[in-house]
A = this chain, B = another copy of it.
Amino acid sequence: MSLVLPSVGRRVHCEQCPLRGLPSFREFTAEELRFISGFKRGELVAESGSIILSEGARSPHLYTVLSGWAFRFKTLPDGRRQILNYLLPGDLLGMQGSVMFEMEHSVEALTQMVLCVFQRDKLDDLFKGYPGLGFDMTWIASREERMLDEHLLSVGRRTAVERAAYLLAFLHSRAEGLGRLEGKLLHVPITQQHLADTLGLSIVHTNKTLRKLADRGLIRWLDRSCEILDAGGLRELADWEKPAERKRPLI
């Protein structure tokens, strides 16, 4: 839970970013890439468990996940925690700080991560000089909104088993879009406490719920991670369809 140290040097150049080649991301023009490259200030390596952004803080940076998993969460004053969404490679974090007074949620790394660091104060130039990238920012925010809508539907209206099935299918689908599956399988690097805090359930009940999924052969619980064996079965159980995602921007 330690705070992360300021950024280190840079290794990855935007023009040859390993993510850009993926089929999920839209092509950028050379000009756009040049701007993004200038927008980037460096890279940050965060260890598993470290807090990348903190509720109430006012960070001067924006980040994009280059590698690793993280999650966004909020807590009530008495400590109850709700995980809001997960962050995977290609996801942008910290826009909220540009818009609100201060961060309204925190972000914690689930694995070791590498993040691209951007300077927030060049955001105006982005909107001024690159309307397409400006639109992308709105696009990205709307995408997050859509995911939250789905989570809210799930937490509000699905049963415990359906909820768990939905969440795991959702994570599978996201990793799949990034070519992060090992065969058809996926290792999700989370503890049962994380799942409980995402699903709005107690940890004990989460454990019993996961057992039901495991008994059906849909998942397997390993060390401190969940192996998804049958994403289609999970989707069916949750009555959820993979969204037809269009190519998305990578900033």
Q: Residues of A at under 8 Å CB distance from B?
A: 72, 74, 76-78, 80-82, 84, 95-96, 98-101, 104-105, 123-124, 127-128, 131-132, 134-135, 137-139, 141-146, 148-153, 155-158, 197-200, 239, 243-244, 246
Report A172 CB to chain B, min CB distance, Å: 19
Report A236 CB to chain B, min CB distance, Å: 11
Q: Nearest 4 CB-CB pairs, A to B?
A: A156-B200, A141-B141, A127-B131, A134-B134
Given contact pairs A124-B131, A134-B135, A141-B141, A82 touches B153 in the complex (Cβ within 8 A) = yes
Report A146 CB to chain B, min CB distance, Å: 5
A239 touches B99 (CB 8 A): no
B82, B134, B155: the one contacting A127 at CB < 8 Å is: B134
A95 touches B142 (CB 8 A): yes
Report A179 CB to chain B, min CB distance, Å: 22
B153 touches A156 (CB 8 A): no
B residues less than 8 Å from A127 (CB atoms): 127, 131-132, 134-135
A155 touches B158 (CB 8 A): no
Chain A: interface secondary structure?
helix
Listed by A's residue number, 23 A-B pairs whose Cβ atoms lie within 8 Å are A74-B150, A76-B153, A76-B157, A76-B158, A76-B239, A77-B239, A81-B157, A82-B156, A99-B142, A100-B146, A105-B149, A123-B135, A124-B135, A127-B135, A128-B131, A131-B131, A134-B138, A135-B137, A138-B141, A145-B145, A148-B148, A148-B152, A157-B200
Q: Given known contacts A98-B142, A101-B244, A131-B134, what 11 new A-B pairs fall within 8 Å (CB)?
A: A80-B157, A96-B146, A100-B146, A104-B150, A124-B135, A127-B127, A127-B134, A131-B131, A137-B138, A145-B148, A151-B152
B84 touches A153 (CB 8 A): yes
